[in-house]
Amino acid sequence: MRLNCVLIAGGKWHDIDFARLELLKLLAEDENVRVRVFEDYANLEAITAADFLVSYTCDVTPTEEQQVALRNYLNRGGRWLALHGTNSILRFLENGSIDTPCTAPLFMETLGSMFRAHPPIGPYTVWPTGVKHPMVEGIEPFEVVDELYLSEVYAPIEVLLDAEFEGPAGRFVHNQWEKQRHPVLYQRKLDKGAVMYLTLGHCRGHHDLQPMMEYYPQVERCSWENPVYYELLRRGLSWAKTRNE
């Protein structure tokens, strides 16, 4: 049976080309999946007709009309595998700090969380929370080198993987964080549909910080270099293709 997927891959400060290609290769492992690719959420006709939605973005915010359409899509039974910076809104201030204003509350409430900050890229441990779910069955604690997303939770979510953090978070306005656990993988149920959100997966190439920096000296692949990440992506796509639990 044919399955129609919409992949939203776009935004700033990341190697979107790399992430898009890797996700397309994973989607191509199922010959029944047909994919349409967009940079944002403007094509509501395609999204509405999709069997499932996948997003890898940074600072891509849908309009109010698009937010309502996404919510309705999920309420009707759609599934959405949201990755990395999908829940981010970034504003660079004159003093050099980075604000993350909640200018799209329906969008963030639909996703279940909103990005607020991350410490500098570094190693941390990801832990299963003990919740029984096919996404994490047999997954042991694992180490990654990635951006640890510090997010504000906006709705009831079921956390499947998390990580602990305490301390400062770089140049972000929300800079000081007390010791607590932060979702790395969670499910957000909405009426007949659901969101599966995985915060791992930062990537950046030499040219992805323009115009702030003409040439970024290092290529960052982070969790994309970890086989566990690809296992989670494959499981996430399998989850997204299945309408029933």
Decide if 107 contacts 114 (C-beta within 8 A): no
User: What's the whole-model pTM score?
Assistant: 0.98
CATH of domain 3-240: 3.40.50.880
For residue 243, is pLDDT > 80?
no
Q: What share of the chain is helix, strand, coil (3-state, %, to 5)?
A: 25, 35, 40
* pLDDT value of residue 157: 98
Beta-bridge partners for 159: 186
Q: Report which of 37, 34, 5 is spatially closest to residue 21, judged by C-alpha positions.
A: 37
Domain boundaries, the chain: 3-240
Summarised one tens digit per residue, pLDDT across range 214-223 is: 999 999 999 9
Summarised one tens digit per residue, pLDDT across range 70-90 is: 999 999 999 999 999 999 999
Compute the average pLDDT of residues 133-137: 98
